[in-house]
Amino acid sequence: MSAKLEENLALDIRIHKRIGQLIEALVEDERVGSSRELGRLTGVSFNTLVNWCEGKSDPRLQKLMQFAYAIGWSMTELMQYAEGDEDPYEAIARKKKVQYQQYQKAS
């Protein structure tokens, strides 16, 4: 196996893990409460979310976009989070703060 292929596989595994951590953190968020509720809110089925968390399936772009927008993130923000090191709980709190500030400015 080439070094580049190994590097890409490692990145894919890391992105799966990071998205899984984000899903788990969102489920623990007081506004969501369960994986089924997160699935209902995002329009991504519970089984699909579980498979993403466990690395059993790759998120399809359309579903990943649907998930990102439903939680109030852009795809750029989601990918920056997935490729970064920010704690998922901190990322959620940061995003909530930004959304609240935008709401305050609009009011």
The string of pLDDT tens digits covering residues 35-65 is: 889 999 999 998 999 888 888 888 888 999 9
pLDDT given for residue 9 in this prediction: 65
- Structurally, the chain folds into a number of domains equal to 1
pLDDT band at 7 (very low <50, low <70, confident <90, very high): low
Helix (H), strand (E) at residue 34: none
Mean pLDDT of 72-90: 94
Range of the domain at 42: 3-106
| pTM, two decimal places | 0.82
Check whether 86 has a pLDDT greater than 90: yes
d(CA 19, CA 67): 11
Q: Which amino acid is at 3?
A: A
Residue 39: name the closest of 30, 54, 21, 52 by CA.
52
In this prediction, what percent of the chain has a pLDDT beyond 90?
Answer: 46
Give the burial class of 26: count Cβ atoms within 10 A of its Cβ; 0-12 exposed, 13-18 middle, 19 or more buried.
buried
Residue 18 tokens, joined: 């990071």
Q: Where are the alpha helices (DSSP H) in 1-107?
A: 3-28, 35-42, 46-54, 61-70, 75-83, 88-106
